[in-house]
Amino acid sequence: MSPLAETAGLLADRTRAAFCEALLDGRAWTAGELARHAGVRPSTASEQLTRLIEGGLLAEERQGRHRYVRLAGPEAAGLIEALAAYAPDDRPRPHGLRASVRLGAEARARTCYDHLAGRLGVALADAAIARGLVATGSGLSVTPSGRTWLAGALGYERPAGARRPLVRDCLDWTERRPHLAGALGAALCATALDRGWVRRIGSGRAVRVTPEGTEAFRELLGVTVGQGPAAGP
């Protein structure tokens, strides 16, 4: 079996796919938490997690008795998000007010592993391109002014020998358009969380933009963001 077929086979199971989607929040989960999330027995969760770890999509950490798992890295996260975006949009409508509110919040703004996604993420990507911070000539690249912006606005200095791309696009599964990933996307997300521009909503992937964030995104990128859809520059 080819490596591509093996990886596709890992995600062809509903339980394993549910685990990977949950881990797109960028945090480590215990096997028990993932079992409850997917509605399966702990023994089933343990078996399926082992397959995902052996297949290279998840990484395992142990602290005492607890077994934590997370996505193996940004490449794994990009793969999961891209597959979700390409999947047919024929999912059943959410049942109940809570599920509808959660999905609406995730569509507005959420984390995708370690970068921002949803309408907020796409609006920030559009603004970075419009302002000449990111060029689209032959794939995405950070311009000289973009590197200056990264250092000044976000305080990001690229480590020597860093292997992660400085920027890449990630197809957004709700907007069906790209948002920014790579080191730039991660730096923007980390700064936004650290400085309180966005705050997590509950334990899921959704985030909300704070008043401080509304002002910061407008000053830094010319993006107007409210509780509703994000507007571009």
Residues 224, 144: Cα–Cα separation, whole Å? 25
pLDDT values of the chain reduced to their tens digit, one per residue, 233 residues: 677 888 888 888 999 999 998 898 888 899 999 999 899 999 999 999 999 999 999 999 888 777 899 998 888 888 888 787 776 655 555 556 565 666 788 889 999 889 999 999 999 999 999 999 999 988 899 999 999 999 999 999 888 888 889 999 988 888 889 999 999 999 999 999 999 999 999 877 899 999 999 999 999 999 988 644 444 44
Class of domain 3-72: mainly alpha
CATH 1.10.10.10 segments of the chain: 3-72
Task: Return the pLDDT at 58.
Answer: 94
Q: Which DSSP helix (H) or strand (E) runs through 178?
A: strand 178-181
Token duo for residue 155: 């305080």
Token duo for residue 97: 């007010």
Q: Which of 190, 186, 207 is nearest to 198 (CA)?
A: 207
Task: Say how many CA atoms lie within 13 Å of 129 toward its Cβ.
Answer: 19
DSSP state of 140: -
pTM over 0.85: no
Task: Return the pLDDT at 8.
Answer: 85
Q: Which of 219, 198, 209 is nearest to 131 (CA)?
A: 219
Q: Which residues contact 191 (CB under 8 A, 6 or more apart)?
A: 154, 155, 156, 197
The string of pLDDT tens digits covering residues 137-158 is 888 999 999 999 999 999 998 8
Grouping H, G, I as helix, E, B as strand and the rest as coil, residue 61 is: strand
